[in-house]
């Protein structure tokens, strides 16, 4: 990252003034939560350990702003404040804009919307006090059993790269650092890196052509950071070791330094994914794994804990030569360079709360989120031309939601149907054998069966599963041949594998308010269906599948 002379001078002068302990602090990103900072409190924790960054998990604007204000005030050097903002600030901070999953961008292919989404993340993120987003995801959704699903931009590497680059441009042009993740690229297998080491099994030639291409495109576009992950890719990593349980690339110098820095020419900041994930922790004991990540070429360590022992261990590594002072200085220099790139040393740590409230109150990006949802919804199947429904005042609709998320509801979807004059009965995870007889008796005129199984760490699958799914056993959607049933996925686009009977079938790409509203309106014929599937699910549908339906006049 090239800086002007004054900013470069600040980096070098700051680096020269740091003690060894302070340098070690600069490469740390702990969790900034009430539990994570115990027993010191937010300001006390920062004053004691002086980390270079901190990760936020969100809440309301006032609380988030207050915490960030406290930690920035307690830090001797402005902090990098990170968050996972793949779907917008609304993913983490209440009252801000939430977009559909990134897969919606793949479904509409709109690069201008990708830029606007990145811009929204930057404008609303910096208003909150966040200055570094862990996104966009540039993984490829190739394996229908992959856990990334709606987090990806699709399965076509060049298209994924183009959309990601526009998101990156939108973020970084508006003062927020972007991150291309998760190296070496997920989406090719069905394993969860939180529980084990997921493996990208592509050949070396395939990796460069597929998973590697979006990273190279992001680097060429000037992305400021890349996240390495506890995923393995033996074909590009001679250090992978045991083929049955290969080591992740985040501890591979051949990948992090050899390919990403030397071959791809990346001069930005390499940050690890969480060092608490089993994809890493099952290979290394706690302290040595941090050293392995640093020696591979990573500059910052995410979700570090027990910092006293970690600092002491790395100081011993510096003394015995297992970590070179030059490697540490190189990492710290990249951290400070990113801070200078963000101008953290030249401007207030965050804007006043009243101005932040104004940004949220007047944000124009909600319209972009709605437009993304409207352009992405994909009608995959409709053999009997049921969609859009023959809507009429008083149409009796049974809206069934099947999900393993107790906090998720289809309130906006159902209300949109009601606003159009439908009489809606909402049924979330109904007990098995409670709907069949009522449907057979003609209690409703139409049924919608919605599935919401989004990516969730630790679940190992995004398929419909768990006791909630038992309501599907009795075949209630087909109890009455005169009552059409429309099936909708609000997250995983691959549900036809387990429910091949679904017809008509609609893929949406997230459960946010805008997606719910747009889906209901398209179902009623108020909006056209124009989305094209950004993934293939053979033999059920091909890449680019999507039936067109015009809106009613």
Q: Residue holding tokens 């992001």? A: 218
- What is the Cα–Cα distance from 10 to 246, expressed in whole angstroms? 41
**Among candidate residues 425, 433, 439, the one with its CA nearest the CA of residue 479:** 439
Q: In this structure, are strands 53-55 and 179-183 parallel, antiparallel, or unpaired? A: unpaired
Angle at 77 between CA 72 and CA 82, to 5 degrees: 55
On the CB side of 41, how many CA atoms lie within 13 Å of its CA?
A: 6
**Among candidate residues 15, 26, 36, 24, the one with its CA nearest the CA of residue 306:** 36
Beta bridge partners of 83: 133
DSSP one-letter string for 191-217: --TTTS-EE----HHHHHHTTHHHHHH
Q: Where are the alpha helices (DSSP H) in 346-472?
A: 353-361, 365-376, 411-419, 436-440
Domain boundaries, the chain: 5-361, 377-523
Q: Residue holding tokens 């002086």? A: 50
Q: Which residues contact 265 (CB under 8 A, 6 or more apart)?
A: 219
Beta bridge partners of 424: 397
Tell me how far CA of residue 156 lies from CA of 107, 114, 210, 436, 469, in angstroms.
Answer: 11, 16, 8, 42, 32
pLDDT in tens, the chain (553 residues): 689 999 999 999 999 999 999 999 999 999 999 999 999 999 999 999 999 999 999 899 999 999 999 999 999 999 999 999 999 999 999 889 999 999 999 999 999 999 999 999 999 999 999 999 999 999 999 999 999 899 999 999 999 999 999 999 999 999 999 999 999 999 999 999 999 999 999 999 999 999 999 999 999 999 999 999 999 999 999 999 999 999 999 999 999 999 999 999 999 999 999 999 999 999 989 999 999 999 999 999 999 999 999 999 999 999 999 999 999 999 999 999 999 999 999 988 789 999 999 999 999 999 999 999 999 999 999 999 999 998 888 999 999 999 999 999 999 999 999 999 999 999 999 999 999 999 999 999 999 999 999 988 888 888 888 899 999 999 999 999 999 999 999 999 999 999 999 999 999 999 999 999 999 999 999 999 999 999 999 999 999 999 999 998 7
Q: Which residues contact 347 (CB under 8 A, 6 or more apart)?
A: none
5-361 architecture in CATH? Alpha-Beta Barrel (3.20)
- What is the Cα–Cα distance from 307 to 240, expressed in whole angstroms? 28
Instruction: Report the CATH number of the 377-523 domain.
Output: 3.40.50.1700
**Among candidate residues 329, 307, 325, the one with its CA nearest the CA of residue 317:** 325
Length of the chain, in residues: 553
| HEC assignment per residue over 79-91 | CEEEECCCCCHHH
Backbone angles phi, psi at 482, to 5 degrees: -90, 0
State the sign of the Cα–Cα–Cα–Cα dihedral 544, 545, 550, 551. Answer: negative
**Among candidate residues 210, 335, 197, the one with its CA nearest the CA of residue 269:** 335
């Amino acid at each position: 990252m090239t800086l002007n002379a004054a900013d470069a001078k600040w980096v070098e002068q700051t680096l020269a003034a740091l003690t060894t302990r302070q340098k070690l602090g600069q490469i740390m990103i702990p969790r900034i939560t009430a539990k994570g900072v115990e027993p010191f409190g937010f300001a006390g924790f920062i004053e004691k350990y002086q980390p270079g960054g901190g990760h936020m998990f969100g809440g309301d604007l006032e609380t988030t702003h207050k915490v960030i204000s406290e930690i920035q005030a307690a830090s001797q050097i402005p902090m990098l404040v990170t968050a996972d903002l793949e779907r917008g600030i609304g993913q983490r901070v209440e009252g801000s804009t939430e977009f559909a999953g990134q897969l919606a961008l793949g479904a509409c292919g709109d690069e201008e919307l990708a830029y606007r989404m990145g811009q929204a993340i930057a404008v609303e993120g910096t208003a909150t006090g966040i200055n570094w987003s862990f996104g966009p995801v540039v993984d490829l959704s190739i394996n229908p059993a992959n856990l990334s699903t709606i987090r990806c931009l699709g399965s076509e590497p060049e298209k994924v790269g183009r959309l990601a680059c526009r998101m990156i441009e939108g973020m970084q042009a508006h003062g927020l650092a972007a991150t291309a993740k998760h190296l070496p690229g997920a989406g090719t297998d069905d394993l969860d890196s939180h529980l084990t080491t997921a493996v990208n099994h592509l050949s070396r030639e395939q990796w460069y052509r597929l998973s590697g291409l979006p990273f190279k495109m992001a680097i060429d576009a000037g992305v400021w950071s890349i996240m390495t992950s506890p995923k393995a890719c033996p074909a590009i990593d001679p250090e992978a070791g045991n083929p049955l349980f290969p080591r992740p690339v985040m501890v591979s110098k051949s990948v992090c330094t050899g390919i990403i820095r030397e071959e791809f020419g990346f001069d930005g900041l390499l940050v690890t994914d969480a060092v608490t994930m089993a994809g890493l922790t099952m290979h290394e004991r706690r302290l040595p794994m941090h050293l392995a990540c640093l020696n591979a070429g990573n500059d910052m360590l995410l979700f570090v804990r027990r910092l006293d022992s970690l600092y002491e261990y790395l100081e011993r590594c510096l003394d015995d030569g297992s970590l070179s002072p030059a490697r540490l200085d190189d990492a710290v220099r990249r951290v400070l360079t990113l801070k200078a790139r963000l101008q953290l040393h030249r401007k207030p740590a965050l804007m006043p709360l009243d101005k932040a409230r104004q940004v949220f109150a007047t944000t124009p990006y909600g319209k972009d989120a709605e437009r993304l949802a409207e352009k992405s919804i994909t009608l995959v199947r409709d053999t009997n031309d049921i969609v859009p429904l023959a809507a009429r005042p008083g149409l009796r609709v049974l809206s069934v939601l099947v999900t393993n998320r107790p906090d998720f509801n289809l309130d906006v979807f159902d209300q949109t149907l009601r606003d159009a004059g439908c009489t809606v009965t909402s049924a979330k995870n109904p007990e098995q054998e409670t709907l069949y007889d009522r449907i057979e008796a003609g209690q409703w005129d139409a049924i919608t069966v919605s599935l919401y199984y989004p990516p969730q760490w630790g679940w190992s699958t995004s398929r419909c599963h768990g006791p909630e799914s038992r309501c599907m056993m009795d075949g209630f959607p087909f109890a009455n041949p005169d009552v059409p049933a429309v099936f909708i996925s609000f997250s995983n686009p691959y549900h036809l594998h387990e429910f091949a009977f679904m017809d008509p079938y609609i893929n949406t790409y997230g459960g946010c308010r805008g997606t719910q509203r747009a889906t209901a309106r398209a179902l009623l014929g108020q909006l056209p269906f124009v989305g094209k599937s950004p993934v293939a699910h053979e033999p059920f549908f091909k890449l680019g599948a999507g039936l067109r339906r015009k809106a009613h006049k």
